[in-house]
Amino acid sequence: MNEDRIQTFTEEIGELKLRGARADREHWLLVLGVVGLVSGVGMAIFGGFQASGSAILGDQIAFLATGTLIGLALVIAGTALFVRYSLARFMRFWLVRLVHEHRSETDRLISALKDIESKLQQ
């Protein structure tokens, strides 16, 4: 019974002609988010050290602007990418689990109803 439902579900999905999510693109964007986060923190630290090592105010401002502010922008962008694709992966897993649990519950309910029907007919 469950095999028939899986086959029917697979056929229905095939008829919809939906474009599936590309796992390799999501993986690379997740990696890009982590790299952006780490490199942004590194740039912010490097910019802070460069600014503190200079006695000239103009150089300090330039180091802070190029290192720290660009690093902060990379941290924000990297965090956004990481959170977005991590949540997408988790939500996809959660949805598949939810569908599986609902289908299992439906199968148990149908089985219980058939048992009740057979006992009532006796």
Q: For 4-42, how does the pLDDT look when each residue is reduced to its tens digit (9 = 90+)?
A: 777 777 777 777 766 665 667 888 888 999 999 999 999
- The pLDDT tens digits of the residues spanning 48-90 come to 888 888 888 888 888 888 888 888 999 999 999 999 988 888 8
Give domain status of residue 36, yes or no.
Answer: yes
Kindly state the tokens that stand for 81. Answer: 């990418």
Q: What pLDDT sits at residue 46?
A: 86
Residue 12 inside a domain? The answer is: no
Residue among 84, 104, 120, 81 nearest 2 (CA): 104
Name which residue leads in pLDDT, 1 or 66. Answer: 66
The answer as to whether 99 is a domain residue is yes
Instruction: Answer yes or no: is 110 within a domain.
Output: yes
Q: How many domains does the chain have?
A: 1
Burial (CB count within 10 angstroms: exposed 0-12, middle 13-18, buried 19+), residue 6: exposed
Distance (Å, whole) CA 15 – CA 18:
8
The answer to whether position 101 is within a domain reads yes
State the residue range of the domain holding 80: 24-121
Residue 82 confidence (pLDDT): 92
Closest to 39 (Cα-Cα) out of 64, 63, 72: 72
Q: Which residue has the higher pLDDT, 80 or 96?
A: 80
pLDDT of residue 1: 55
pLDDT for the residue numbered 57: 84
> What's the rounded Cα separation, in Å, for the pair 43 and 49?
10
